[in-house]
């Protein structure tokens, strides 16, 4: 089973509301995770993407990037949760969309080092939403996650 499929089964589809969003993993690396979702299952009553779905896709992309950084580096952890976030909805999202989560090499290195030395570590992840047709950034999300073991 491919790692993407494992993550999709174990992480994304184990969360009830996420399975209804029809999220897909477009790409996955230690530096960047791209998740996609169709507009049809994530629209609001104005016909554009619902803020709750946009925020949720950003959380998931950032969560999965953090999870993948730990798994790729054989760093064990018991819990990974979101501590805080902020989000700007810059433009309406009018078609199928992608959330791209990334984190700097410096942040990632610091996070890995802290988790090895201490029982708890925090990491800041940024995620940006575009549609599948355009590179225009419609949403900017910044979230802080806490891993502990």
**Sole residue written with tokens 């590179």:** 135
Instruction: Report d(CA 130, CA 116) in Å as an integer.
Output: 35
| Shortest Cβ 20–a copy of itself spacing (Å) | 4
Contact in structure between 8 and 25 (CB atoms under 8 Å): yes
Residue 41 makes contact with a copy of itself by CB under 8 A: yes
76 binding a copy of itself? (CB under 8 A)? no
Residue 83 in the binding site for a copy of itself (CB under 8 A):
yes
Question: Under a CB-based contact definition with an 8 Å cutoff, are residues 133 and 119 in contact?
Answer: no
Binding to a copy of itself by CB under 8 A, coded x per residue (else -) over 97-116, reads: --------------------
Instruction: Using CB under 8 A, pick the residue from 2, 74, 76, 79 that binds a copy of itself.
Output: 79
Range in contact with a copy of itself (rule: CB under 8 A) among 24-32, 45-53, 110-118, 122-130: 45-53
Q: Which of 24, 89, 114, 149 binds a copy of itself (CB under 8 A)?
A: 89
Sole window of 69-77, 88-96, 111-119, 128-136 interacting with a copy of itself (rule: CB under 8 A): 88-96
Structure tokens at 138: 């419609």
CA distance 125 to 70: 14
What does 23-91 look like in DSSP terms, one character per residue?
Answer: -EEEEE-SSEEEEEE-STTSB-TTSSB-HHHHHHHHHHHHHHHHHHHHHHTT---SEEEEEEEEEEE-S
Residue 51 within binding range of a copy of itself, rule CB under 8 A: yes
Binding site for a copy of itself (CB under 8 A): 10-11, 14-18, 20-21, 40-46, 48, 50-53, 55-56, 59-60, 79, 81-89, 92
């Amino acid at each position: 089973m491919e790692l993407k499929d494992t993550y999709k089964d174990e992480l994304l589809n184990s969360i009830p509301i996420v399975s209804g969003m029809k999220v897909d993993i477009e790409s996955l690396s230690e530096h960047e995770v791209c998740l996609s979702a169709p507009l049809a299952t994530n629209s609001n009553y104005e016909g554009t993407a619902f803020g709750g779905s946009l925020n949720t896709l950003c959380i998931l992309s950032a969560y999965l990037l953090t999870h993948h950084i730990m798994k790729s580096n054989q760093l064990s952890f018991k819990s990974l949760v979101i501590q805080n976030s902020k989000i700007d909805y810059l433009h309406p999202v009018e078609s199928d969309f992608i959330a791209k989560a990334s984190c700097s090499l410096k942040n990632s290195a610091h996070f890995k080092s802290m988790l090895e030395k201490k029982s708890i570590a925090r990491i800041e992840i940024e995620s940006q939403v575009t549609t599948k047709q355009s590179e225009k950034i419609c949403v900017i999300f910044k979230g802080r996650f806490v891993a502990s073991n």
